[in-house]
Structure 1
């Protein structure tokens, strides 16, 4: 078959692939150079597309980065589901769940989200987009953690204990932003898994 006879990629597929490249590049930029360095031009260059093509999909930097963090959050949740599903049908131990959360909250995707939070704290328009996004991500992370631990939230104190776990791993992710905190984080998460088992009456 000649090159001319090869079927052309549908425009919709190309457009979707371009958007995906821009979102991936925006997450990478946020995680590596922060909010200040993540411009539409920089993201477009990293994604290998023209600035005009980038602005066809996202009119402003705020729109691009918010969409990227939303996309990144969905990826984080999907990765957590996949890891849980890969445990060969057995319920993960509390240590498995806590370690998985620790990984999720120290990933480049989480670093990117942190950069957006900091920017949104002093930008009212950006904050209006970020607050509902983070509320939704927080609810999904909570739901997945409850499911992974196999606990009943109608039992008094269980909901708060799960939320305390998420707050702990988020804080440890923040501590990891400036220096490699992995050794201390591992010790704390191992201890918390033991404490969590006791709190949940395992």
Structure 2
């Protein structure tokens, strides 16, 4: 086996640093979007929060739109991974699965995504990429829900029931933005889990 060159030895740490910088920028972008909304979340603010220069931020993400759509997509992927990690053996008790799925729509990620949706409704350059991102995230959420609920979508009405659960979860997430809706949310989760048990068998 040949000797490793100094260039190759150098390349790995640089790639690691670059990856770490990118992760910090993505996390800072989501936090800024959740806390300050679109208007208050500039590349400069995000770079400052991430502890990197504006130039470094623009090296990774040339435009503001690139940065924020990448941030929400990245954390959505992390969220899906975390959800799967809760149920490594696949479907569990349906009440637990429904509760975990509803949990996807509370917290800073959902708040950040919501700010991005509102911005996209007014910003032409954002709209197409946010629409595409949401379609992809929606398909992935639906696929995970079907797997975890052990739902057979060949049965009439099952697909709509699963989609209804995700739509309801998004609505509960919206209600939670203004007030702590946890007590009512838990009652709705229990009701939906019961309905899905009846529908899915």
TM-score when scaled to structure 1? 0.91
Per the TM alignment, residue 82 of structure 1 is displaced from its structure 2 partner at its CA by 0.7
**How many angstroms apart in 2 are the aligned matches of 1:34 and 1:183?**
27
**How many angstroms apart in 2 are the aligned matches of 1:90 and 1:61?**
38
**How many angstroms apart in 1 are the aligned matches of 2:131 and 2:160?**
21
> Within the alignment, does 1:64 sit opposite 2:93 as a pair?
no
The verdict on how the C-alpha distance between 1:118 and 1:70 changes in structure 2, with shifts beyond 3 A counting, is same
Corresponding residue for residue 153 of structure 2: 153
**How many angstroms apart in 2 are the aligned matches of 1:195 and 1:11?**
52
Q: Which runs of 5+ in 1 are unaligned?
A: 1-6
Q: Which runs of 5+ in 2 are unaligned?
A: 1-8
Q: Give the RMSD, CA atoms, in angstroms.
A: 1.4
> Within the alignment, does 1:39 sit opposite 2:48 as a pair?
no
**How many angstroms apart in 2 are the aligned matches of 1:64 and 1:181?**
31
Per the TM alignment, residue 33 of structure 1 is displaced from its structure 2 partner at its CA by 1.4
Corresponding residue for residue 133 of structure 1: 133
Q: Secondary structure at the match of 1:131?
A: helix
The verdict on how the C-alpha distance between 1:90 and 1:17 changes in structure 2, with shifts beyond 3 A counting, is closer
**Residues 90 and 148, structure 2, Cα contact 8 Å, conserved in 1:** no
**How many angstroms apart in 1 are the aligned matches of 2:190 and 2:25?**
37
Corresponding residue for residue 121 of structure 1: 121
TM-score when scaled to structure 2? 0.91
Corresponding residue for residue 22 of structure 2: 19
Per the TM alignment, residue 90 of structure 1 is displaced from its structure 2 partner at its CA by 6.9
Per the TM alignment, residue 151 of structure 1 is displaced from its structure 2 partner at its CA by 1.3
**Residues 27 and 71, structure 2, Cα contact 8 Å, conserved in 1:** yes
Corresponding residue for residue 169 of structure 1: 169
Give the number of aligned pairs: 192
**How many angstroms apart in 2 are the aligned matches of 1:12 and 1:194?**
49
The Cα offsets for residues 104-145 of structure 1, whole Å up to 9 and x where unpaired, read as: 110211111111011101112101111111101100100000
**Residues 142 and 162, structure 2, Cα contact 8 Å, conserved in 1:** yes
Corresponding residue for residue 142 of structure 2: 142
